[in-house]
Structure 1
Amino acid sequence: MTDTDPSALAGRHVLIPRAPGRGDGLARRVEAAGGVAVVAPLISRQAIDDAGRAALDDAVAQLADGAFAWVAVTSVNAVDELAASAQRVEAKRDGECRADDRSPAPSPLSRLAVAARWAVVGPATARALAAHGITADLVAPQNSATGMLAVWPDAAPRADRPSDGTRAIPSPRVLLPLGDLARPTLEHGLTTLGYLPVRVTAYRTVSHPAPPEVVARWRAGGFDAVVLTSGSVAREVAAQLGVRPDVLAVAIGEPTREAASGVGQVIASVAGAATDDALFAALLAAVGPATTNSSAPSVTPAAAPDPPASPTGLLDAAGNPAILEEGTHPSPRHPGVPHTPEES
């Protein structure tokens, strides 16, 4: 994090709808610039069911057997779920990998996935892979599926492809461990490039209701800006809080901007990369310091729906609207999230 003018966001109140572990870096930047940051997740990751877990484990077992030329990873969540699956697969193989491994790798994922090349959507995902001992072979310069496809090599030179639609060699297979809400952009693009994409659901995205104090503050005009880090977050902001034209919205990339536009949210700025530094730069460009240092801007509250059982249709594992755990104690930065010493 570079030096920041301590008054660059003076008097500004910024909502960061992310989990504390993912939103704290940006929150620190906002606070260092004189702003007030509130980190409150509106979505969360949900484990897949037993059938989905079996399908994921089968795909990882095939990966271990060299069945995939590439693995394309579009989120840190997917890395986490692949690592958990690799641990299960390795355990089922009666310790063969451990017995034969003369140079222990940091994790089962790197032990099982030595034959494939890895493509990632951005630097955060690359770092998550590196924590498991895997170096990404391709990092998208633009943090989106479109950005990945722009630099992905053709499966074979076009001159070598038969004109009658048949192929002299089988299409290389690409494992796509995605969230359940991911669009098919990557699948379609890879097919065009001559690959055979194999999509498997690695996790589900579910609604996480906003804490009541955040809802009340939003409706009272208590936020100057909101940071949208995915299309799912943009839709949940609209569904749970309501669209406010007086709140400046910053998007992490073009897909998020498009999703926000689809629910009526105008985007003031788009980050140049999926990093905290880029999001902070976009926030500065969109917002700047307040003209007064009041605790909340003086605006007319916009009408908003009651806190919903999410109209986006995102449910918990039992098919019910997701709810907050009982007994949580709000922290100053993380309302509705259990307070721990690390959040101080």
Structure 2
Amino acid sequence: MSRDRVLLPRPEGRGDDLTDLLEIAGYDVVRAPFVRIEPAPAADLAPALDRLAGGAYDLLVITSPATVRSLVAVGLRVPAGTEIVAVGGATARALHEAGLEVDLVAEGSGAALVEAVRRHRDAGGSSAPGPGSGPAPDPGAPAPRVLLPASSAAAPTVREGLEGAGMRVEQIDAYHPQHAPLPAQVERDLPGGGFDAIVLTSSMIARRAAQIGVHPRTAVVVIGRPTQEAAVDAGLRVDARAEHPDAPSLARAVHLALAPETTTPPPTSLDSPTGSTSRTSPTRPAAPKE
């Protein structure tokens, strides 16, 4: 009996933990990066990083391990007075491996990041407005200054959210995602029905999948709401969305999209306190495997 084939189009160096969880659960995982990461030139990053090293920012917000790698490669120096905010555990681990102490780890969504920063700053008595358990912000204090290095393809959601919380944000391009060349077999199998599921982990990957074509029998699993919106806008049907942007949640979402309602839950190796998922559409159309 053949195993369900799952396509993971994440960039190189990403998704090893998800691959392991899916293979443990019995899926046949095919990895084919749709995107390659090009770090921004050092000359483009130098002005902001020099200001950072000189203490010009109150917060450094890092949203991905790719950003960490790009900044470390050109000499990232963070002064003691600047707090570091990491989005997600993988980003926090990359910062730790680079020898940097993280002050706050936020969940992966833009809204969760903004709320976590607001609460953290309020608890410390900063000038950022918003609900918090600490002392009331000083209305006469200057707005916190934030450096936000990110992908050149990043949506303005985080920057706008932080600015809406009363912060002064400078967003710079840390890296540039580019389309990666694909094996001819993948370009044939994806529109031809050769995969049972595809896992989309960014808006750019979702748009490229739509350009290549996704067969109706292939379940589409997304990492979060922005990716879901991009996939739907590009004409894809989304079958399941991970509740949290982590490997256990994505693995459970794949199982939810592929397993009939009567099957048993995935193996306990996929279980996680944050590993809930949501089905976003009716079960995918039934079709014989090719």
Question: Structure 1 160/277 Cα, relative in aligned 2: closer, same or farther at 3 Å?
Answer: closer
| TM-fit CA distance, 1:32 | 2.1
Quick one: which of 91, 98, 105 aligns to 1:139? 105
Aligned residue number for residue 21 of structure 1? 13
Question: Structure 1 78/64 Cα, relative in aligned 2: closer, same or farther at 3 Å?
Answer: same
Question: Structure 1 174/157 Cα, relative in aligned 2: closer, same or farther at 3 Å?
Answer: closer
SS where residue 264 of structure 1 aligns?
coil
Amino acid at match of 2:147: L
Please give the per-residue CA displacement for 1:174-206, whole angstroms capped at 9, x wherever unaligned.
001011111111111111211100111111011
Amino acid at match of 1:298: P
Tell me if 1:151 matches 2:122.
no
Tell me if 1:219 matches 2:191.
yes
Aligned residue number for residue 259 of structure 2? 288
Q: Is the 8 A contact 1:177 1:199 kept in 2?
A: yes
CA RMSD of aligned residues (A): 2.3
CA distance in 2, matches of 1:21, 1:40: 11
Tell me if 1:58 matches 2:47.
yes
Q: Is the 8 A contact 1:229 1:252 kept in 2?
A: yes
CA distance in 1, matches of 2:170, 2:128: 22
Q: Is the 8 A contact 2:35 2:178 kept in 1?
A: yes
| TM-fit CA distance, 1:29 | 2.3
Structure number with bigger Rg: 1
Task: Determine which structure has the larger strand proportion and give its number.
Answer: 2
Alignment map for 1:296-335 (pairs within 5 Å): 298=288
Tell me if 1:187 matches 2:159.
yes
CA distance in 2, matches of 1:20, 1:81: 14
- Percent identical pairs in the alignment equals 37
SS where residue 22 of structure 1 aligns?
coil
SS where residue 204 of structure 2 aligns?
helix
Question: Structure 1 46/157 Cα, relative in aligned 2: closer, same or farther at 3 Å?
Answer: closer
Quick one: which of 30, 33, 38 aligns to 1:38? 30
Quick one: which of 232, 240, 253 aligns to 2:224? 253
Please give the per-residue CA displacement for 1:18-47, whole angstroms capped at 9, x wherever unaligned.
234323332232222222110000011113
Quick one: which of 269, 272, 278 aligns to 2:249? 278
TM-score relative to the length of structure 2: 0.80
CA distance in 1, matches of 2:230, 2:6: 20
Amino acid at match of 1:173: R
